A = this chain, B = another copy of it.
Amino acid sequence: MATKLGILAGGGPLPGRIVQSCLAAGREVFVIAFENESDPKTCEGVPHVWMPLGKVGATINRLKAENCTDVVLAGPVRRPSFSKLKPDMRAIKLLGKIRKAAGQGDDAILSVLVEELESENFRVVGADDLLGDVVAPEGILSDRVPGEIDQKDIELGVRVARALGALDVGQAVVVQQGVVLGVEAIEGTDALLGRCQDLKREGQGGVLVKLKKTQQERRADLPTIGADTVRHAAEAGLNGIAVEAGQSLILDRAEVVAEANRLGLYVAGIKA
């Protein structure tokens, strides 16, 4: 029988899906919800505690007290300003490690956190270990297939997303006809798609490309799309979405594909 799972719940729908999946399988969970980050719906009706991001010691102690042996980090967490972080002693110790890590980015923080959890003998698992069929497969999932212009836009998007990812800036890029319309930093993919609605050139579509950052800890914050992403991409007037096969998550794949087909977009799992 599977042991109790501690869920460190970042933003977006991913943590909630993990909760539902565990409940359906009869697995016990305990949710650490982060103030200003987690969706309150994630922990409704399940054992949980709200925690400020900086309370790393308290988080670890609570996971131990709850007898969680496995832990998952799910959903994006935006790094707050230092002045707002209010770190406890354990977080201060980690900040030293994080500052030493190159780049000082979100990835460094997550990697240090994963290490720290492992040093306490937690088993840190990926969201894809818990959700069946969530990893993006290779190939075109939709009825629509990317055309020649789309292929070139995807290639440019991959180049730009790689460069951004290497610098720990963001995961997503929108390209149309060889022009980079927008690039994601901390505003998130929905906000990026929102502004691209006004920046789009007349004529043929464009693509949202979303890739794992190069240095990214695989068990934390893999690029994720869902049916909402498809709807927002359609509102932005794009032709489709490309994610990296094997390195990104598609939530509710059947719904994603149905929405893409209804709205006439392509969804492609690419080898990048």
Contacts and interface: CB of A to CB of B under 8 A. Distances in A.
Interface of A: 79-84, 104-106, 156, 159-160, 163-164, 166-170, 174, 176-187, 191, 195, 199, 201-204
Given A164-B163, A169-B160, A199 B186 contact: yes
Nearest to A200: B81
A181 B186 CA distance: 5
Contact of A81 (B105, B163, B164, B177): B177
A160 B160 CA distance: 12
Contacts of A184: 183
B160 A204 contact: no
Nearest to A82: B177
Nearest to A187: B199
Given A104-B178, A163-B164, A167-B163, A81 B185 contact: no
A79 B179 CA distance: 8
Contacts of A81: 176-177, 179, 201-204
Given A81-B204, A84-B201, A181-B187, 8 more contacts: A79-B179, A80-B202, A105-B178, A163-B163, A163-B166, A180-B185, A186-B199, A187-B195
A85 to B, nearest CB: 9
Nearest to A108: B178
